[in-house]
Amino acid sequence: MADDIVVNDNLEDIGAQAEVCEPKYDADNLQILKGLEAVRMRPAMYIGDTGSRGLHHLFTEVVDNSIDEHLAGYCTKIIVILGKDNSVTVVDNGRGIPTDIHSEVGVSGVEVAMTMLHAGGKFGGGGYKVSGGLHGVGVSAVNALSEWCEVNVCRNGECYFQRYERGVPCAPLKVVGAADNTGTTTKYLADSEIFGEIIYHPDVFVSRLRELAYLNKGLIIEFVNEFAEEDEERSKVFKFDNGIAEFVEHLNRNKTALHKVVYFSGERDETSVDVALQYNEGFQENILTYANNIHTQEGGTHLSGFKTAITRVLNNYARKNNILKEKDPNLSGDDVREGLAAVISAKILRPQFEGQTKTKLGNGEVEGIVNSIVGEKLAEFLEENPTAARRVIDKALTAHRARDAARRAADMVKRQSAMENASLPGKLADCIERDPSKCELFIVEGQSAGGNAKLGRDRRYQAILPLRGKILNVEKARMDKALENEEIKSLVAALGTGITHSSMDIDDNEDGVLDFGEEITSGNGNGNGNGNGNGKKNGATFDKSKLRYDRVIIMTDADVDGSHITTLLLTFFFRYMKPLVIDGHIYIAQPPFYRIKAGKDKIFYAKDDDERDSILRSIPNKKDAIVTRFKGLGEMDAPDLADTTMNIETRTVRQVMVEDLIEADEMFTVLLGDQVEPRKAFIETHAREVENLDWHA
């Protein structure tokens, strides 16, 4: 063996060998992307993703530029058109993009704005004081990711035009006629090479445009949908003279309010803040935050400033009026925000967003400004409206008592788990795999179906959790009641993440969270202004990294009861495990309705009547066909269930995604909330759309 070993003591020879073996790496290996090539090469860096969300994000980037013109005091109307050819057009009556030649680059201002990243009038050059499109990649990124884009600008008495194809100008900007007005029209066709199949959802347009109209009182925004059917509304116009006060009324329209909407505004150090809020009798908080009209879905400093202020002010009022005694602990942040609907809109000279899609505000100074303004104005409202103030405080006190009960319930579950030497529920049939990314959990309706699912699963990566009956409707119950429900406790323990108090803000990890696997630390009630009114942060947090299964699949009967159970489960996930829904971890199984046996060994499955009839037409000898209709999962034997609903190669599952948090929140309130009239109106409106109302019939 020693003869086979070659030792080379010549370092120069070794270096020479390495030079031959390794690829050449010098300055010529450094690739320089010109123009908008970087956007086309890495589109997700600029618009988030290249799926449906990224596709719809394009129009918001263009609209945001028109909104900036409104904020500058020039634009009063915006029109957005979704064309039959899948084009999108945005029209505004602002000043129009500058058309003169830029002295440094030698092309028109229009071409600079449309083809150069980080170019625009929003970097302190005097074009805009407040802007949402600060990063300067918005409309140029849209241009880069479009098959073609056309821009018309009316300015200085003339109308200008330029066309681009995949970000490249077809010709210089040219005058095409006279104009007696000003404004910009941008029309583009998203590139199928980037986004694949182009499918737009008009509701996404409507939701964002309505939102912008609320945030910019008096601004007229029109949406034209050329895909609308004859019986559908082709054009919608939004204009709200009372702005975000009407927005809060909209958020609470299906809830019972405790008082009139409170609206106030203020300005500090070139930052203006508008706030509208109203409490309702429900248990969920719904706080929406915006910075320069951009929806900051993950909150940020303006949200933390608001939370700190509202907790401090309500505690101070309660103590000043002897509602809270000296020995009583302070109300927590979750206590004072239960049933609160609020909109916070900040206008900032130099906003700092985290990421190009601007989901979180990072300006440190904004927290103190919002804290100060909200603290002063809310304290004034409470003093001037003692009846409303008492209703709010009483609700917070009730929430506080319920939350204490919830903590005790969680602690009891934890102690029971410790005594049983296992933290997982006994009914759970777990899988062997321990890598969560490879695992999936089936939540199965009924013990019988659960038994068949256990027999038909692939135990290497599929876990089964059977549920008995319907879980608690958490839309009508506080957290303490939810934690008393055995099925919910089993579900939470199986998933491993803990639960968090519901909120439209998904970035609040400092209070109101319960985890069955961690110690709960109660606060000492000193109200130190940390946002939750407690002296210590709770030791437990909702921790998605502890999720034990990447896919959580709801599997219920294909009947009314099954649909109801699915809705109850989705409500629970949305209210108490919202990140799982937002990040696409929740799925709904699609079991077939029919099994068709032809001859001795041919078996077909049909998802509905049409597919059943199609299969029967394809069978030569129809007399030998035996059609079995499954009335429930329990009637399917293990092989049937495995082949049709669980086998990853043959099954069909529907992923649950949230395109609009506001609309989703409203829908859960309508379907499962206290008020009957909104639910009745919804049923009457959509009754004719229902198919297969009850497969037990």
Q: What is the pLDDT of residues 299-338, one digit of tens each?
A: 999 999 999 999 999 999 999 999 999 899 999 999 999 9
Question: CB neighbours of 345 closer than 8 A, spacing ≥ 6?
Answer: 215, 244, 273, 274, 275, 289, 290, 293
**Is 155 or 41 the better-scoring residue by pLDDT?**
155
Catalytic residue among 515, 557, 665, 666: 557
Identify the band that residue 559 occupies on the pLDDT scale cut at 50, 70 and 90.
confident
pLDDT, mean over the chain: 83
pLDDT score recorded for residue 532: 35
Tell whether 184 and 258 lie within a shared domain: no
Residue 629 lies in a domain: no
Query: Kind and range of the H or E element at 169?
Result: strand 168-169
Catalytic residue among 515, 559, 640, 643: 559
Q: Which domain holds residue 139?
A: 43-238
Hey, what amino acid is at 219? L
Residue whose pair of structure tokens reads 């046996």 in the numeric block: 597
In the annotation, is 559 catalytic? yes
Tell whether 220 and 311 lie within a shared domain: no
In the annotation, is 557 catalytic? yes
Tell whether 190 and 64 lie within a shared domain: yes
Extract the runs of DSSP E, i.e. beta strands, from 84-141: 87-92
Residue 75 lies in a domain: yes
pLDDT score recorded for residue 533: 36
CATH of the domain at 48: 3.30.565.10
Residue 267 has pLDDT above 50, yes or no: yes
- Rounded to two decimals, the pTM is 0.75
Average pLDDT over residues 674-689: 84
Residue 597 has pLDDT above 70, yes or no: yes
In the annotation, is 561 catalytic? yes
Is residue 248 within 8 A of residue 276, CB to CB? The reply is yes
Catalytic residue among 445, 475, 505, 508: 445
Tell whether 332 and 184 lie within a shared domain: no
Residue 546 lies in a domain: no
Average pLDDT over residues 192-198: 92
pLDDT, tens digit (0-9, with 9 covering 90-100), for 415-437: 554 444 346 787 899 999 999 99
Structurally, the chain folds into a number of domains equal to 2
CATH of the domain at 311: 3.30.230.10
List the one residue out of 298, 280, 279 whose CA is nearest residue 288: 298
Residue 268 lies in a domain: yes
Residue 505 has pLDDT above 70, yes or no: no
Residue 251 neighbours by CB distance under 10 Å: 25
Tell whether 172 and 251 lie within a shared domain: no
Tell whether 86 and 215 lie within a shared domain: yes
In the annotation, is 511 catalytic? no
Average pLDDT over residues 275-304: 93
Tell whether 217 and 354 lie within a shared domain: no
Tell whether 389 and 249 lie within a shared domain: yes
Identify the band that residue 44 occupies on the pLDDT scale cut at 50, 70 and 90.
confident
pLDDT score recorded for residue 660: 82
Residue 7 lies in a domain: no
Catalytic residue among 147, 226, 550, 561: 561
CA distance linking residue 580 with residue 15, whole number of Å? 53
CA distance linking residue 160 with residue 182, whole number of Å? 11
Identify the band that residue 534 occupies on the pLDDT scale cut at 50, 70 and 90.
very low
| Greatest mean pLDDT among 107-121, 387-401, 467-481 | 387-401
Considering only CA atoms, give the Rg of the chain.
Answer: 29
Residue 387 has pLDDT above 90, yes or no: yes
Three-state SS for 257?
strand
pLDDT, tens digit (0-9, with 9 covering 90-100), for 333-363: 999 999 999 999 999 988 888 765 567 899 9
